[in-house]
Amino acid sequence: MGQALHIAKCDLQVPANNGAHCTAAISTEQLVVRRGQPFSIALHFAAEVHNYLQQLKRVSLVVQTDDSVFLTNEAQRQECVLNQDGSIYWGTESTIQVQPWDFSQVSQTLGSAPRQRTGVSHIAHGTGRSLGWTAERRDGTPPTQWLGSAPILRQWAAEQCQPVQYGQCWVFAAVACSVLRCLGIPTRVVTSFTWAHDTGGQLSVDEYYSENGDKVAYNGKASIWSFHTWNECWMARPDLSPGYDGWQVLDATPQEKSGGPSSCGPAPVRAIRDGILELDPDIAPLFAALNAEHHVWVQRPDRRFQRAASGGRYLGNSISTKAMSCDRCQDLTHLYKFPEGSPQAREVLERVHKKTSKLEGARSRETDPSTLLPAEDLALLLFVCIQSKSSVLLGQDIQLAVTVANRSGGERAVYLVLGGQTFQYDGTPIAQLWKEELQFTLRDNEGKDGSICVRAAQLQPLPYEKTLADVDTLSVHFAQEEISICKPQLAIKLPPSVMQYQPTTAEISLQNPLPEPLEQCVLSVTGRGLIYRERTYRCDTVQPSSSLHMHIPFTPTQAGTKRLTVHLSCTQIQDIKGYRSVNIVAAQPTA
């Protein structure tokens, strides 16, 4: 009887397989393949087989898996699984700004540590305990200074999975996106502007102002954030009733729950739009955050708060993500909510209001009713309006136009308070910049126009607010204009194309817009396939009206379209970011 034929060696054909599976950047030595895609191996036997081959039985092993995260659209797969150059949107609804981000999901940082990849929730949860915007972060990296996920994950792995300091919502979402894309789960980063935070599922958010127009703290934890960022993941949901496969919300930012920090989701986007609260416990807070109504209360001389007859708005606007195959911003608002005022929107809101009416009643019982007064039905009697640019460049003055009109049918005495406040992205006021108080009388159908120039020396990112009281009737009106103070832009010059392994240079410049020098300037440059990890340069002081000029040499090591990202901070201006893409032509093999 012949001896068994043994396999002497198994060739996993790593270069060919990893190249076909788009995982060569993860490893050139270990086999890394994707679900549902065939790969080849070569078996080498311990002895020659010769004519015994005709006696062998050919066996094909085919494993067919039902992939619950397979996305049929090839362009979306390229964007939401393989694209490593991301754009995250933040700022305000009227001035949406872009933050470049390097996800690095197809890299050794994520691909070589499967055990550590599974603990990404620990990163989000642990870092969430360090959340804060105003504290000095001398023992960590401020959230605004991160440019990509790889440095965060490298630090987390090097420090034995200890929390990385510090993060905010877009950092949590970006790191989660990197890990999920590395695992082959289609994921994108989504931002909503005017986000109702910590509403407890209630469909209203109240803000309180003193009679002088200063924002003040009052009962309740709910607040309005300028923006909030989360993830969408594509997956089937066999655990739910039919119709809820597709994009799911996954919010990696730690939620304020009684049991400690906790993430939110996955929750179907369609269920959020349709207000199907009973489908999943996470849908109610997400629906409220995107559909709550904003009310303004102003304190009267008797210390009670009266609801302003104007100033309210619906929240959850301009829901944005990076578009496929380009750096354009794509609006997703229609996927999360029906058009405001449409029959579908009214039907959904009415149905959800009925379900949440008990919660609303409980909330009203927790607030002392003697301190709150309803709005007078005088919204159309006095008209107040602020007009200004939605954004100005740092160093420029702000021009404001204010209009007050009387449509009450009689003469009215008016007390007008004008003021500007700086505030954090989560709505917390920082400081009152200036305030003016005016008293005047308006005859019926009379209007009063005025203009105000706010000097650049007074400015930080701020909302401009105006509180108007009709002294005769104690009707309170409120208007607010949010103005973004934009930082100067970095100019980055690169050749349109560069040959792989050939040295080249990037030219970076910035003009100082301030009447004072820019001191202690630090420039950081990064680019996967262009520069190893990150380079840091200390620059000379930049005098007023002068420009900073830097030449950054580098040698690209990877072919394809690559992104160079630049970060500049100085004593006077923090976190100026810019990026530029360049085409790297593959080097031809030598003969």
pLDDT in tens, 95-131: 899 999 999 988 766 655 444 444 433 333 333 333 3
Cis check for the bond before 537: say yes or no (omega within 30 of 0). no
Q: Is 486 a catalytic residue?
A: no
Q: Which two tokens stand for residue 2?
A: 């012949």
d(CA 85, CA 83): 6
Q: What percent of the chain has pLDDT over 90?
A: 39
d(CA 403, CA 236): 53
Looking at 169, 177, 182, 521, which residue is catalytic? Answer: 169
Looking at 125, 228, 477, 567, which residue is catalytic? Answer: 228
Task: Give the per-residue pLDDT at 108.
Answer: 66
Q: Which uninterrupted H or E stretch holds 350? A: helix 343-366
Q: Is 67 a catalytic residue?
A: no
Q: Contacts by 27-33 with C-beta closer than 8 Å and gap 24+? A: 27/108, 27/111, 27/112, 30/112, 32/111
Same domain, 504 and 402: no
Same domain, 469 and 571: no
Q: Is 10 a catalytic residue?
A: no
pLDDT higher than 80, residue 152: yes
Does some domain include residue 358?
Answer: no
d(CA 569, CA 573): 6
What is the reported pTM? 0.83
Q: Which uninterrupted H or E stretch holds 75? A: helix 74-77
Same domain, 430 and 446: yes
pLDDT higher than 90, residue 517: yes
Higher-confidence position of 70 and 329: 329
Least confident of 28-32, 159-163, 273-277, 555-559: 28-32
Task: Give the per-residue pLDDT at 163.
Answer: 85
d(CA 434, CA 416): 14
- Taking every pair of Cα atoms in the chain, the longest distance, rounded to a whole number of angstroms, is 116
**Cα separation values, 78 from 21, 72, 211, 245, 409, Å:** 12, 11, 54, 20, 63
Q: Decide which of 465, 486, 507 is a domain's last residue.
A: 486
Q: Residue 378 — very low, low, confident or very high, per pLDDT cuts 50/70/90?
A: very low
Does some domain include residue 231?
Answer: yes
Task: Give the per-residue pLDDT at 229.
Answer: 96
CATH number of the domain within which 526 lies: 2.60.40.10
Same domain, 461 and 380: yes
Least confident of 107-111, 131-135, 497-501: 131-135
The span from the first CA to the last CA of the chain, in angstroms, equals 52
Same domain, 329 and 438: no
For the segment 263-267, the average pLDDT, to the nearest whole number, is 84
Task: Give the per-residue pLDDT at 544.
Answer: 93
Q: Which two tokens stand for residue 149?
A: 């996920």
Beta bridge partners of 11: 42
Q: Are 265 and 176 in contact (CB under 8 A)?
A: no
Find the domain containing 253 and state its range.
74-200+223-277+319-346
Higher-confidence position of 357 and 311: 357
Looking at 85, 198, 206, 251, which residue is catalytic? Answer: 251
Q: Are 184 and 274 in contact (CB under 8 A)?
A: no
pLDDT digit string, tens, across residues 183-195: 889 999 999 999 9
**Cα separation values, 166 from 79, 132, 146, 251, 335, Å:** 27, 8, 9, 17, 32
Same domain, 134 and 232: yes
Least confident of 73-82, 175-184, 195-204, 466-475: 466-475
What values do phi and psi take at 534, rounded to 5?
-145, 135
pLDDT higher than 80, residue 25: no
